[in-house]
Amino acid sequence: MTDQDRPQYQQLLARKVEVVNVGLEGFVKDLSDCGIDVVHVDWKPSAGGDPQMAALLAKLGV
Protein backbone atom coordinates (compact mmCIF):
# COMPACT_ATOMS: atom_id res chain seq x y z
CA MET A 1 0.00 0.00 0.00
CA THR A 2 1.40 3.39 -0.96
CA ASP A 3 0.94 6.56 1.13
CA GLN A 4 -1.67 7.72 -1.35
CA ASP A 5 -3.75 4.61 -0.74
CA ARG A 6 -3.93 5.15 3.03
CA PRO A 7 -6.83 7.05 4.66
CA GLN A 8 -5.98 10.72 5.17
CA TYR A 9 -5.48 10.51 8.93
CA GLN A 10 -2.99 7.70 8.51
CA GLN A 11 -1.06 9.80 6.00
CA LEU A 12 -0.95 12.54 8.63
CA LEU A 13 0.64 10.30 11.22
CA ALA A 14 3.09 8.80 8.74
CA ARG A 15 4.81 12.15 8.46
CA LYS A 16 6.47 14.35 11.09
CA VAL A 17 3.71 15.59 13.38
CA GLU A 18 3.45 19.23 14.44
CA VAL A 19 0.80 20.08 17.00
CA VAL A 20 -1.13 23.18 17.98
CA ASN A 21 -2.44 22.57 21.49
CA VAL A 22 -5.43 24.66 22.53
CA GLY A 23 -6.48 24.96 26.16
CA LEU A 24 -5.08 22.53 28.70
CA GLU A 25 -1.34 23.12 28.91
CA GLY A 26 -0.65 19.71 30.43
CA PHE A 27 -0.70 18.02 27.02
CA VAL A 28 2.19 20.19 25.85
CA LYS A 29 4.71 18.46 28.10
CA ASP A 30 3.56 14.95 27.15
CA LEU A 31 3.97 15.70 23.46
CA SER A 32 7.26 17.55 23.95
CA ASP A 33 8.59 14.56 25.89
CA CYS A 34 7.89 12.46 22.78
CA GLY A 35 9.95 14.85 20.67
CA ILE A 36 6.94 16.40 18.95
CA ASP A 37 6.93 20.10 18.11
CA VAL A 38 4.05 21.81 19.96
CA VAL A 39 2.73 25.35 19.88
CA HIS A 40 0.47 26.12 22.83
CA VAL A 41 -2.52 28.43 22.53
CA ASP A 42 -3.63 29.85 25.87
CA TRP A 43 -7.41 29.56 25.64
CA LYS A 44 -10.23 29.17 28.10
CA PRO A 45 -13.95 28.84 27.50
CA SER A 46 -15.89 32.06 27.95
CA ALA A 47 -16.66 32.94 31.57
CA GLY A 48 -14.65 29.97 32.79
CA GLY A 49 -17.21 27.60 31.33
CA ASP A 50 -20.20 29.03 33.19
CA PRO A 51 -22.94 28.59 30.53
CA GLN A 52 -25.36 31.14 32.03
CA MET A 53 -22.71 33.84 32.30
CA ALA A 54 -21.38 33.01 28.83
CA ALA A 55 -24.90 33.36 27.40
CA LEU A 56 -25.33 36.70 29.13
CA LEU A 57 -21.99 37.91 27.78
CA ALA A 58 -22.95 36.84 24.28
CA LYS A 59 -26.09 38.96 24.51
CA LEU A 60 -24.06 41.89 25.84
CA GLY A 61 -21.82 41.72 22.81
CA VAL A 62 -18.75 39.68 23.71
Partner 1 sequence: MKLIEDANQQALARILEGEPRLIDIVPARELIPGLRERMILHAGPPISWDRMCGPMRGAVAGAIVFEGWAQDLPTATKLAANGEIEFHPNHHFGAVGPMTGMTTMSMPLFVVENARFANRAYCAINEGLGKVMRFGGNDASVLKRLAWLRDVFGPTLGKAIRAAGGIDLKSIVARGLSMGDELHQRNLACSSVFLREIAPWMARTSTDNAVLAECLAFIGQNDQFFLNIAMAMGKAITDPANGIRGSTIVTTMCRNGTDFGIRVSGLGEQWFTAPVEMPEGLYFAGYSEKDANPDMGDSAIVETIGLGGFAMAAAPAVAGFVGAGAPSEAGNFTRSMGEITVAQNPEWTIAAMDFAGVPTGIDIRLVVDSGVVPVINTGIAHREPGIGQVGAGVVKAPLACFQQAIVAIAKDLGVS
Residues that bind partner 1 (CB under 8 A): 44, 46-48, 53-54, 56-57, 59-62
The H or E element that residue 29 is part of is helix 26-33
Nearest approach, Cβ of residue 39 and partner 1 (Å) = 18
- What's the Cα-to-Cα distance from 53 to each of 22, 24, 26, 48, rounded to whole Å? 22, 21, 26, 9
Nearest approach, Cβ of residue 43 and partner 1 (Å) = 10
Nearest approach, Cβ of residue 50 and partner 1 (Å) = 8
Which one, 10 or 46, has the nearer CB to partner 1?
46
